[in-house]
Amino acid sequence: MAHSVGKYMKKNHKTMMLAFCAALWTGPAISQGAAPADVGHDTSPPPPPPVVAQAKPITANVTVSDAQLLAADTDQDNWLLHGRTYDNQRFSPLKQISPANVKKLVPVSIIQTGVANSFEVTPIVVNGVMYISTASDHVQAYDAASGEPLWSYTPTLSYSDLCCGPQSRGVAVAYGKVFVAQLDGVMVALDAKTGNVVWKSDRSGTLPPNATRYSFTAAPQVYNGMVVIGTGGAEYPIRGFVQAYDAQTGKLVWRFYTIAAPGEPGGDTWSGDSWKAGGGSMWNTPAFDPKSGLISFAVGNPNPDVYGEERKGDNAYTDSIVTVHAKDGTLAWWYQEVKHDVWDYDATSPVILLDAKDASGKIVPAAAEANKDGLLYIVNRQTGALIRASDPFVLESANKWTIPTADLGEPHYPSASGGANWSPPAYSPLTRKVYVKGTNLAWRLDAKPIDPKNPPLGQWIGGDMRAILDGKANNTIEPSGTLSAIDVDTGKIGWQYKSDFPMIGGVLATASNLVFAGELDGYFDAFNATNGTKLWHFNLGAGVNASPITYRVNGVQYVAVAAGGNSGSASLLAAMRGHTSVGDVVAIFAVAP
């Protein structure tokens, strides 16, 4: 799973809350208090917001082509892809904001989306237009310099079983459309200029039976006329998958199952029929290598989470970096980071494509993924062979690899909250370091068999998992976090920043040797990428657990980030310590003159 407490606070979103910024809603005012005796008083509920509301026409060219996406690394004005470029490096060549002037960074716009809930988005910027998604899949377009609202899309979601909260980690923009992968397992294409619905995928034709068990929370990837997304839902008895849609029609092009079946590579790593409900969510946006025609992603935990005796074996392709052929979804290779996972150490953060030295010192094409077990794994991206695992970037308990038993055992860390959770790291080719957020948070695990004749309704955990938010009272570590600079050629940690809160959310690196990252107490920080010195911070009032981006409009460099907390145990921790646990803000910063 990608988050924590949501697994035990089951959310049945049969009716999702629909809200949006008041600036985009011009419906009738709502009467308050008692009406005069001679005036009629309408007590009917207010009408819902419109599905699409447009505040101002978009005149910019927002039709993004495959050629533009392939050249995103040379485009200094825009942030066109979830990871800025297909390699997911989240590295910008912009230098206008530098260590010398970052202290002059000030907010030029504070956008209030009207949806106060888990906020984990990476915005997309196309020619001065910013596209975001909020919790419950509201999609909104804004002027990327002024924050002025342009249009909004308010969905009506079908029922879906959710593990871990109603978050949406972003949209994809291409071919004149904005693609959002919804919580109800539906892919939607919106007109990029107006927000009007172009098409919606058919659940019956694009999801397996028991469709309510499948949900989408990641930002989709787009390439070669296709839209790719992976399913959540591994806390339910599903066989997870990643699939591609035709970007023009919404029809299914290919599907790759993240659980190996008998007769497939890795199919012998499951006992009996356990593969049929083996789990395997994909919480992240894939990386695409156009030169090789391969797409790489990380796969989450097996099902059930804690009790593994009924799924004996390594359980491929869970807890793995998986690479498939982008054209048809057929398997190229996989590398399993954690075999037979019973600790919920699923691989949830995005795969990064980069070059690294192998054991002989030769630079080779590589792929990196930061796991919840607290290690950064670097593999050869042509073969999947392990090059190295990093030093741990979080604390490790002596019982880290102890198999859970039938009673809540001793505190255990890293835990299901991380190590690294879904948080996207950044990589700087200048420093040759991956910047990874980490979480120190202990849990207790309790493993119990599932009775196949009387299986549980809803989630199949295989026991119990409990986060320990008060370490002093439970004789274990206090929750905290790290931001680590990890050398890709050695696996060593060059520098590490320590936070009093778990560090969750994305990281941004720039060519001016700055690293931007947020904290759960509301601070948005800038660090020197070389030595880790904190150079600037600004408090946004709610947890900065989203992913910052940078771009230019009319020659001015901006940095933008969302602040709204998340759905995990960390948000409960923030509330316990007196901080706001959720919010609805997107802040846009620039250097003051």
Query: Percent of the chain having pLDDT more than 70?
Result: 93
395, part of any domain:
yes
pLDDT greater than 90 at residue 19: no
Q: What is the spatial distance between Cα 182 and Cα 142, in angstroms, rounded to a whole number? A: 20
CA distance 480 to 393: 12
- Burial bucket for residue 236 (CB in 10 Å: 0-12, 13-18, 19+): buried
**In the predicted model, what is the mean pLDDT of residues 259-269?**
98
Residue 471 corresponds to which tokens in the numbers above? 């370490």
Q: Give the pLDDT band (50/70/90) at residue 6.
A: very low
Q: Check which CATH number belongs to the domain holding 225 and give it.
A: 2.140.10.10
Give me 273's structure tokens.
């029929």
pLDDT at 389: 98
Tens of pLDDT, residues 538-562: 999 999 999 999 999 999 999 999 9
Task: Tell me if 51 is assigned to some domain.
Answer: no
pLDDT at residue 5 tops 70: no
Residue 586 belongs to some domain of the structure: yes
Q: Comparing C-alpha atoms, which of 430, 424, 287, 301 is closest to residue 366?
A: 287
The predicted-structure confidence for 378-398, as pLDDT tens digits, reads as follows 999 999 999 999 999 999 999
pLDDT in tens, 59-96: 999 999 999 999 999 999 999 999 999 999 999 999 99
Amino acid 163: pLDDT = 83
Say if 264 falls within a structural domain.
yes
Q: Does position 12 have pLDDT exceeding 60, yes or no?
A: no
3-state SS record for 510-560: ECCCEEEEECCCCEEEEEECCCCCEEEEEECCCCCCCCCEEEEECCEEEEE
What pLDDT was estimated at residue 291? 96
What is the mean pLDDT of the segment spanning 182-202? 97
DSSP letter for 415, please.
Answer: B
Provide mean pLDDT across the span 139-159: 97
Residue 218 in domain:
yes
Per the domain annotation, does 235 fall within a domain? yes
Spot the catalytic one: 344, 346, 487, 525.
344
- Is the separation of the CB atoms in 589 and 22 below 8 Å? no
**Confidence label for 449 from pLDDT (cuts 50, 70 and 90):** very high
Place of tokens 């997870």: 240
Q: What is the mean pLDDT of residues 505-510?
A: 98
Distance CA 333, CA 321 (A): 9
Domain enclosing residue 133, as ranges: 5-10+60-591
Give per-residue pLDDT as tens, 194-212.
Answer: 999 999 999 999 999 999 9
Q: What is the total count of domains within the chain?
A: 1
The yes-or-no answer on residue 344 being catalytic is: yes
pLDDT in tens, 243-252: 999 999 999 9
In a domain, 469, yes or no: yes
Look at residue 309 and tell me if it is in a domain: yes
Across residues 481-496, what is the average pLDDT? 98
The CA radius of gyration of the chain, in Å to the nearest whole number, is 23
